[in-house]
Structure 1
Amino acid sequence: MAKSTQRKKNLFERFANWATIATGSSAAFIAATVVIIVWIVTGPIFKYSDTWQLVINTGTTIITFLMVFLIQKSQNKDSKAVHLKLNELLASHQGASNRMVHIEDLTEDELDKLARFYIKLSKLAEEEDDITCTHSIDAAEENHNEKLSSLKTKKHYQNALISRSKKSK
């Protein structure tokens, strides 16, 4: 990328960050409220004319039009930052599936398939008495069976089973 193009991009990035902060502030809300109040107060002076109405309509339309793009840019940046943070957590966690990194690029059908898988994991987890049990997307069934076998030898699990059977009687 050329140096002048990069400089323009950085300038726009700084302006967009400033504009996002400025327009999301209390001062911006107060300024917008003052503009509306001034417009309302000037209504009788301009006899509520079409021009008087056009001023506020045109002004708010232009601001809304520009804000849509500013909000979208801000949302894109925030979303990218959140995805990168989540990707780092997934990549750094021993039991997490690395296949989950960057899933935001999957199709809707692929995401639905993953959602169904996690519903299945949730149902498996509901069958267990230990809330600390987790499952990986890569080895869910195997992990579930291993954890269940391991839990059956633990005292707290056996006590929970006894307690559950007493409650059901």
Structure 2
Amino acid sequence: MATRSRELAGFTSSEFGEARLPLPEPIPEAVEAGVFTEAIPGTGAPNEPQVRAITVEYARVLYRLLQDLAYLTECASQGISPDTGRPFPTQQEYVAAFQAMNTEAHRLTDHYRSLIETYACGFGYEAAEALDQSMMQLVDRPIKVPLPKRVPIQQK
């Protein structure tokens, strides 16, 4: 696999303030595998406006996931209910809710990782890492979500 030597292009979106989102080129393997054909009719390779739109949509979902995860983490650490924002009346209720919050946090983290992996399949790991870093800068409480080593591109 060829490595890219040029710097990854980026753009800002008013929706995400100062965050710089990546503007990558689709990786040739993804285009050949037909990764974009369902979302983009035609040649299968998205143009720059389409890449921007794809990136912004991923950023929206990732940002919401990180906000939810940060909120759950804050609630768990302070012993408050994510539903009411108030402390739990008993330790038993807190323990039961903490287990539920932990399960939900794992689900959110898995979903986040899955989206980053999917983005990497189309645009490469450098672009996925740049998108991840941009999203992490937006949340008040940074949360480290490790990227996978490598995700194979699925052939259709």
User: Same fold by TM (over 0.5)?
Assistant: no
TM-score grouping bracket, smaller chain normalisation? 0.3 to 0.5
State the structure with more CA Rg. 1
What TM-score does the superposition give when structure 2 sets the normalisation length?
0.32
Structure possessing the higher relative contact order (Cα contacts under 8 Å, 6 or more residues apart): 2
What TM-score, normalized by structure 1, do the two folds share?
0.30
